Structure 1
Amino acid sequence: MKNIPTDSLRTLVTVVEVGGFAKAGELLGLSQPAVSLQIKRLEELLGRKLFKKQGQRQILNHQGEQLLPLAKQMLKDNDAILQLFSNETITGKVRLGIPSEFAASILPAIIGDFVSLYPDVSLEVKSELSKQLMHVSNRDEFDLVLTLVEQLDNPHYPSFLQDDLVWVGNTPAKLTEPVTLVVAPQGCIYRRRAIEALEQAGVSWRIVYTNADLTGLTAAIKEQLGVTVLARKTVPEELPYTANSDVLPALGQVGISLIKRGQESLQAIDKLAEFITLRLS
């Protein structure tokens, strides 16, 4: 019976998350040839190629896409087992910045699980719009920033995950009057993408409600004040959504990036970054 080495799986996942062999090597403390060798050995073990060339980049092929979620699950289980039986204590304080919609939807469960596994790590979480989280004035405020990126192949902020943008709320069956929008303030990626898509499609619109907090937007949508745009993963369970409306234009995708601030490589920061990327993916 063959066994798959977890270091090869971790290398595969890292290459995909950071968007390249060289960057993965920097993160893992390996040379680029060493990263390539680990991927080659994994391909030989499985008897399948996992990457294909797209321009100057190597991206996952169909077999690689099939392997990726299984590899992430194996790494998650591996790390959970090691943590359960390890005498090593991870301590420290991590300042995490996250978009407000993530703070209200999917992050609480992830953060709760992390705190249960690493009770000696103190987390300080602050939620704002991605634009504010990334503003130069906040550069020293966070150790990690989870942020939305519109450019999916951004070399400075590589996406470890891409998600569909969807219309949230009761979408109209036909357009007899302007689309009413409930949105976050200026600077919000969702707001900008909604307006750009509507204007490019020649659909009139008007903003009837503005709130930076997802809870406030959710309440407005429940009252049927209008529709909004969110990444599919962040849509509250109680709200209807659609990515393929007959009357509203397609919105495309958005990237999700996890950015480490500063040069420090504290174990608590690295562990939280790995935990979030594995769980969100």
Structure 2
Amino acid sequence: MRNLDVTTLRSFVAVAELGGVTRAAGFLNLTQSAVSMQLKRLEELLGITLLDRSNRSISLSAPGEQLLGYARRMVSLNDEIMARLTDQIYEGEIVLGVPHDIVLPAVPRVLQRFNAQFPRMKVQLLTSFTRELKDRFHRGECDVILTTEAGVDKGGETLVTKPLKWIGAQGGSAWKQRPLRLAFGRHCIFRGGVIAALDAAGIDWDMAVETESDRTIEATVSADLAVHAMIDGTEPPHLEQIDHGGSLPELTSQKINMYATDKGRGEVLDTLADQLRQAFRHM
């Protein structure tokens, strides 16, 4: 009888989701060699190759893609059993505020892992722009918020600093047009810096879309009618970073910050904060 080890499967899922052994090792608080050894043992047990190592970037082999779904289910079931049958049972609600443009790809993974560990805790996800989230946090309406800012206020923690990137339609050409057509939210914190960079570079621009709806911005950019700017790595799969070859100015970096309070649920909030911390630092 051959048995699969949940710890090994957890490492495999982390490598698949984070795109590499190094990031997975950091996320799991293991050494890179330990994660590599676990993958090797899993491959030997199953008699298959899980990773395609022919390219510089690691990708899953066909058997690896097939295993991934099973592995996620087994890890999730393990965590659910441990959460439901252990002595400590937490119930309640946490309000998590996140700007629209950094929800993906990290936050859904965090919500999934947190729910497996605390199945009776409800996380209400609130999406808005940074200024509104900070106002809500100061009014006590949110327990944890993430923000995108040039700096960080007292009590905040910077999770990661990443550059802004020009975003356009896949294979699009809107970035070549002059005046450059822009699509931004009315309250977007990146907007002023982007316009300042264009003005400094002497590039004429036109605000083609000014809205409060991120869906409207995505639809316009997807149609190749305008361009946008997002934090590196947060663009949705139907859009892409523009390879402009220097035709557009480089943009500034932004901090992704976290602000958290404690309302008597220290361990629960600490766990959520730690999972957010790890997810964004290994994004």
Q: Compute the TM-score of the two structures, normalised by the length of structure 1.
A: 0.65
Q: Tell me the equivalent position of 1:182.
A: 183
Inter-CA distance 264–188: structure 2 relative to 1 (3 Å threshold): farther
Q: Which amino acid aligns with 1:201?
A: A
Q: Which amino acid aligns with 1:74?
A: N
Q: Tell me the equivalent position of 1:256.
A: 256
Q: Tell me the equivalent position of 1:216.
A: 216
Q: Which moved more, 1:225-234 or 1:188-197?
A: 188-197
Structure 2: state its 5+ residue gaps.
1-20, 36-75
Deviation at 1:113, TM superposition (A): 2.9
Q: Tell me the equivalent position of 2:199.
A: 199
Work out the percentage of aligned pairs sharing the same amino acid. Answer: 20
d(CA) in 2 for partners of 1:71, 1:223 = 38
Inter-CA distance 102–175: structure 2 relative to 1 (3 Å threshold): closer
d(CA) in 2 for partners of 1:195, 1:97 = 27
Deviation at 1:125, TM superposition (A): 1.5
Structure 1: state its 5+ residue gaps.
1-65
d(CA) in 1 for partners of 2:133, 2:174 = 37
Inter-CA distance 246–89: structure 2 relative to 1 (3 Å threshold): same
Inter-CA distance 176–236: structure 2 relative to 1 (3 Å threshold): closer
Contact in 2 for aligned 1:173/1:247 (Cα 8 Å):
no
Deviation at 1:92, TM superposition (A): 2.5
Contact in 1 for aligned 2:137/2:143 (Cα 8 Å):
no
Q: Tell me the equivalent position of 2:156.
A: 157
Residue by residue over 1:260-281, the C-alpha shift from the partner in whole angstroms, topping out at 9 and shown as x without a partner, is 1366453222211111111222
Residue by residue over 1:43-74, the C-alpha shift from the partner in whole angstroms, topping out at 9 and shown as x without a partner, is xxxxxxxxxxxxxxxxxxxxxxx988734322
Deviation at 1:83, TM superposition (A): 8.1
Q: Which amino acid aligns with 2:90?
A: I
Q: How many residues align?
A: 212
Q: Tell me the equivalent position of 1:72.
A: 27
Q: Which amino acid aligns with 2:95?
A: R
Q: Tell me the equivalent position of 1:39.
A: none
Contact in 2 for aligned 1:162/1:256 (Cα 8 Å):
yes
d(CA) in 2 for partners of 1:264, 1:243 = 48
Residue by residue over 1:161-214, the C-alpha shift from the partner in whole angstroms, topping out at 9 and shown as x without a partner, is 1122100005759856211001111x3122222112111212111101123333
d(CA) in 1 for partners of 2:189, 2:95 = 23
Contact in 2 for aligned 1:100/1:129 (Cα 8 Å):
yes
Q: Compute the TM-score of the two structures, normalised by the length of structure 2.
A: 0.64
Residue by residue over 1:58-108, the C-alpha shift from the partner in whole angstroms, topping out at 9 and shown as x without a partner, is xxxxxxxx9887343227x9xx98886461323321111110123365422
Q: How does 1:15-164 map to 2 (within 5 A)?
A: 70-74=25-29, 85=82, 87=86, 88-103=88-103, 105-135=105-135, 139-151=139-151, 156-164=155-163
Q: Which amino acid aligns with 1:182?
A: A
Q: How does 1:241-252 map to 2 (within 5 A)?
A: 241-242=241-242, 245-252=245-252
d(CA) in 1 for partners of 2:89, 2:275 = 16
d(CA) in 2 for partners of 1:129, 1:165 = 16
d(CA) in 2 for partners of 1:263, 1:121 = 14
d(CA) in 2 for partners of 1:91, 1:97 = 20
